[in-house]
């Protein structure tokens, strides 16, 4: 069964600090992995997409890494801002078939001033 596990479930940090969120998956055959940011009461918005051959990808202060061998990804947020407070969802798609992605439960990040 395709699964995506995220950790930690929640995280509280001070403004300006860095943090790293983790994602482990068992989706097979692997096609791509996306990190989404979801603000409270809003729909998710894509931050990055990574394919099998990519190890790291950045989007501003967000840097995603992928280890396809261990089936792990991380999202690193540098110099956090209050606006980073949101849920971060890891989404993995398999190749072949209907391309319905598998969503993780998300990590809830709170950035305090």
Contact between residue 103 and residue 38 where contact means Cβ atoms under 8 Å apart: no
Say how far apart CA 35 and CA 22 lie, in whole Å. Answer: 11
Instruction: Name which of 14 and 100 has its Cβ closer to another protein.
Output: 100
Measured from the CB atom, the residue of 65 and 107 that comes closer to another protein is 107
Q: Which is nearer to another protein, 18 or 56 (CB)?
A: 56
Partners of 51 in the beta sheet? 32
Q: Containing H/E element for 57?
A: strand 56-59
Of the candidate spans 16-24, 42-50, 56-64, 71-79, the one that interacts with another protein by CB under 8 A turns out to be 42-50
* Piece of the chain touching another protein by CB under 8 A; list 11-19, 55-63, 77-85, 103-111: 103-111
């Amino acid at each position: 069964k395709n699964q995506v596990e995220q950790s930690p479930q929640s995280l509280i940090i001070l403004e300006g600090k860095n943090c790293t969120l983790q994602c482990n998956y068992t989706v097979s055959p692997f096609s791509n992995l996306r990190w989404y940011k979801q603000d409270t009461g809003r729909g998710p918005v894509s931050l990055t997409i990574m394919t099998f051959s990519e190890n790291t990808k950045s989007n501003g202060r967000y840097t995603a890494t992928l280890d396809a061998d261990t089936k792990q990804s991380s999202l690193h947020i540098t110099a956090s801002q209050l606006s980073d407070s949101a849920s971060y969802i890891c989404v993995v798609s398999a190749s072949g078939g209907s391309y319905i992605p598998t969503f993780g439960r998300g990590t809830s990040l709170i950035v305090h001033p």
